[in-house]
Amino acid sequence: MEACATALADRRLLGWAAAWGVVSLVAFGLVAAIIPNPVFGRQIPPEPFAIAVWIASAPLMGLILATYMSPPTSQAEPRLLGSAVAGGPDAVLSSAETRSTTIGTLAGFGAFLAIGCPVCNKIALVLLGTSGALTIFAPIQPLIGAASLALLAGTLAWRLRSRARGGACSVRPA
């Protein structure tokens, strides 16, 4: 936990996090039509849980994206993706960083599914029909939202711990 707090003390990281948090909040709010706009609409008004997931996921996504934009400033030497010798300790770090990226992406997609209109979701509509989207998909949206927030928080903790060790910069050598 101390490593995460140390990683959060970086001003550049916090600046990128604020920028990406605002981008996430606005982008998800517009596309999910939580923020009224002429391009996207909702058939069903947003539920309170959808607004809570939307507001809680934006800063988490902002912090996760900031770990990719701002290189670590710790004293540890950054480990570069692709610098691993087959079977070496860096190979495990590289696959773990890739896994954290995948989990973070899935968590962001889950947050998007949780805040969206159940009838406007084309995948749910095609698979379940309108009545199925309302009776099957809509009731599980809060669970999807909770799972996505937990995965975002776990991904953030992973990225911050890795950053504190100097290994959160997933840049390939030129």
Condensed to tens digits (0 to 9), the pLDDT of residues 92-136 reads 446 666 777 888 899 999 999 999 988 888 888 898 888 888 999
Which three-class secondary structure state does DSSP give residue 163?
Answer: helix
pTM for this one?
Answer: 0.78
CA Rg value for the chain: 18
Q: For residues 28 and 172, what is the distance between their CA atoms, to the nearest angstrom?
A: 30
Whether 77 shows a pLDDT value over 90: the answer reads no
Q: Domains of the chain: which residue ranges? A: 2-164
87-99 tens-digit pLDDT: 444 444 466 667 7
Mean pLDDT score across all residues of the chain: 81
| Structure tokens given for 103 | 């989990």
Q: How many degrees, rounded to 5, is the angle at CA 169 between CA 150 and CA 144?
A: 15
Averaged pLDDT for residues 2-9:
67
pLDDT of the residue at 54? 96
Q: How far apart are CA 53 and CA 93, in angstroms?
A: 30
Rounded to an integer, what distance in angstroms lies between the CA atom of residue 112 and that of residue 6?
A: 30
